[in-house]
Chain A
């Protein structure tokens, strides 16, 4: 089977993981810009990071015939520092112009603070002005429901943003319904301790249907699994779903969303 991994942080993964992806049929990955597990001390660190996302990782992936795309943005966790965040925002257009950058992401909220909201709104404005796709990070755990609602209110207040060009990620059982009702795409993240499991992802698929869903591993520097999408595909198989539906969820859906950026071409 063919799988597109729409959200994985390959800068934090070993080269062996690229081989595992290729062997499993994951030949296309999209990597959002995110928080590296520590707060960076200067804007120069973001230049290096965005260069890694747009130059180094595509080359590393190509050794295994994996196509690597990325999202460029200022993550919510480091947005609390407004001065640093605005320095980073000023450099975004340069990297968004690169040939494998698909849009602005992952941006959104972390603890739902005023500074996080300010920097998110400024990136929504940038996305609207440049007609960029948006990949949204929703807060973790107890902050997710509140943050998802604030994010959707901000997006709905920007008339130049259309919901079919926005994917709201890390959705869970208590946020999926509202995201779908508002017309956005949504991502389910398979993250062992703090997000979803393959079984819960397939439960959500059964409850909410296969429309506008993208399932991802979000594998990064913490406890995570780069082939979690394959495990979920297998969970669908275990429940008797046909290969055509499995292919729709793990290949056709991410392809449809990401192909709204003309730079994207699935392997």
Chain B
């Protein structure tokens, strides 16, 4: 069992944060629906960001209190070698080599 580290009770957390997180969940559903409604939906669903996002959604359902870290790691580059050059590159939010479509 996870060591308690929050000062609020679970009931207080639900009373305080449920509505704003319900709204966030609907934003995510709407975002995924938007991709599905696009003319090139299949291309979007094959994008590494979309696949990493779907994998992260699976992590939300894992038990315990380590979901946030697991999702951060899911989006991260797991390699350790420097890249040759950063010219023209920018962060996109998901590692292009990740995002297994397994779930």
* Chain A residues packing against B (C-beta within 8 Å): 80, 110-117, 139-146, 149-150, 172-174, 194, 199-200, 203, 206-207, 238-241
Contact = CB atoms under 8 A, between A and B. Distances in A.
B93 A173 contact: no
Name the 6 nearest CB pairs between A and B, nearest first.
Answer: A111-B86, A174-B72, A113-B86, A141-B91, A145-B76, A140-B91
The secondary structure that dominates the B interface is: loop
Contacts, number: 84
Nearest to B4: A206
A142 B7 contact: no
B95 interface: yes
B76 A139 contact: no
Nearest to A118: B82
Interface of B: 5-8, 16-17, 68-69, 72-73, 75-80, 82-87, 89-95
B7 to A, nearest CB: 5
A80 B86 CA distance: 7
Contacts of B72: 145, 172-174
A174 B77 CA distance: 12
B69 A174 contact: yes
B73 A145 contact: yes
B82 A141 contact: no
Contact of B75 (A116, A142, A206): A142
